[in-house]
């Protein structure tokens, strides 16, 4: 499948796609690095987890002008330096230009993240007048 959106994302910070079924489901892997660490104990800042989940939601919809309208997320367990987080997505509802995408993140078998992302596929780029 050809990726049609978010082509300039740095996968080093937002994850590397491992599987995608356009408009249905997908997965990506986020390898945690020193640049993501929030403190001396090696806690990974939640913003990187959110970024990976948001990126996966956008790619799952895979419309050239898809944007995030709203998100509801939960950070269920801490993620530490060296962890690999596998994110899985599934479109749970589509109505017109709106899609609701569920994203979960796992370290091994443990679920560490869950969220719902309201995505909008616009007629033109959000920054175009």
Strand order in the sheet with 25-31: 16-21, 25-31, 84-95, 98-107, 110-121, 66-75
CA distances from 73 to 40, 88, 103 (A): 25, 14, 9
Residue 76: what pLDDT? 98
Residue 22: what pLDDT? 79
Residue 30: what pLDDT? 98
Residue 122: what pLDDT? 94
Residue 104 and residue 120 in contact, taking contact as beta carbons nearer than 8 Å: no
Residue 129: what pLDDT? 81
Residue 113 and residue 87 in contact, taking contact as beta carbons nearer than 8 Å: yes
Residue 2: what pLDDT? 87
Protein fold of 11-121: Thiol Ester Dehydrase; Chain A (3.10.129)
pLDDT tens figures, 41-97: 999 999 999 999 999 999 999 999 999 999 999 999 999 999 999 999 999 999 999
């Amino acid at each position: 499948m050809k990726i049609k959106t978010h082509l300039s994302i740095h996968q080093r910070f937002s994850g590397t796609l491992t599987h995608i079924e356009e408009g249905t489901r997908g997965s990506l892997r986020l390898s945690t690095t020193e640049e993501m660490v929030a403190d001396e104990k090696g806690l990974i800042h939640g913003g990187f987890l959110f970024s990976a989940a948001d990126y996966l939601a956008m790619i799952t919809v895979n419309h050239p002008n898809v944007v995030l309208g709203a998100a509801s997320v939960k950070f269920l367990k801490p993620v530490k330096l060296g962890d690999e987080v596998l994110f899985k997505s599934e479109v749970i509802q589509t109505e017109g230009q709106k899609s609701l995408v569920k994203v979960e993140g796992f370290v091994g078998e443990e679920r560490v993240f869950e969220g719902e992302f309201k995505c909008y596929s616009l007629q033109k780029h959000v920054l175009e007048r």
